[in-house]
């Protein structure tokens, strides 16, 4: 039946695994799957990870703002857009400093992070990420309007 000793050992190991897996109750497998799903979900809503995402988005916004200033787009923008943009940018920076401070206070361990998630810190960070994205979108819309008006004169 078995041509080599190695095949015999593999068959024994395979049978042992089949017996072991058949002894594990279905509920235990389900509980393990739920726990694994919870851990993956927790990893995506951890405040420290979300703060890194927020800081990357803010850096992207600041690069686009610097580009708009360097190319003269902001100089050609209307004053109401610039004033609103400056107010929004200041509000977002204040929120980021506050969220960063609160995130650093939860860096004592996973249970402190879970408590912070429960208290809504991750939701606030996600809201701030959406605000940064909206501000970046407004900057791009303004840039497109300015460029369209600039090239419209060439027609």
Q: Which residue has the tokens 């190991």?
A: 13
The residue that leads in pLDDT, 21 or 68, is 68
92-131 pLDDT, tens digit each: 999 999 999 998 888 777 778 778 878 888 889 999 999 9
Structure tokens at 62: 């600041």
**So where are the chain's domains?**
1-44, 45-152
pTM over 0.95: no
> How many CB atoms are located within 10 Å of the residue 155 CB?
4
74-85 pLDDT, tens digit each: 888 888 888 899
Is residue 77 within 8 Å of residue 149, measured between CB atoms? no
Q: Return d(Cα 32, Cα 26) in angstroms, integer.
A: 10
3-state helix, strand, coil in the chain (%, to 5): 85, 0, 15
Is residue 37 within 8 Å of residue 116, measured between CB atoms? no
């Amino acid at each position: 039946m078995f041509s080599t000793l190695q095949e015999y050992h593999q068959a024994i190991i395979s049978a042992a695994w089949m017996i072991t897996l058949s002894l594990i109750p279905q509920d235990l497998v389900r509980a393990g799957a739920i726990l694994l799903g919870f851990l993956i979900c927790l990893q995506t809503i951890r405040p420290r990870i979300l703060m890194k995402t927020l800081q990357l988005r803010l850096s992207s916004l600041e690069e686009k703002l610097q580009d708009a200033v360097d190319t003269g787009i902001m100089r050609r923008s209307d004053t109401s857009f610039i004033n609103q943009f400056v107010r929004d940018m200041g509000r977002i920076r204040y929120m980021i400093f506050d969220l960063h401070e609160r995130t650093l206070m939860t860096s004592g361990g996973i249970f402190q992070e879970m408590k912070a998630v429960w208290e809504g810190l991750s939701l606030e960070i996600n809201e701030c990420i959406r605000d940064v994205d909206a501000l970046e979108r407004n900057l791009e819309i303004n840039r497109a309007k300015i460029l369209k008006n600039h090239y419209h004169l060439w027609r």
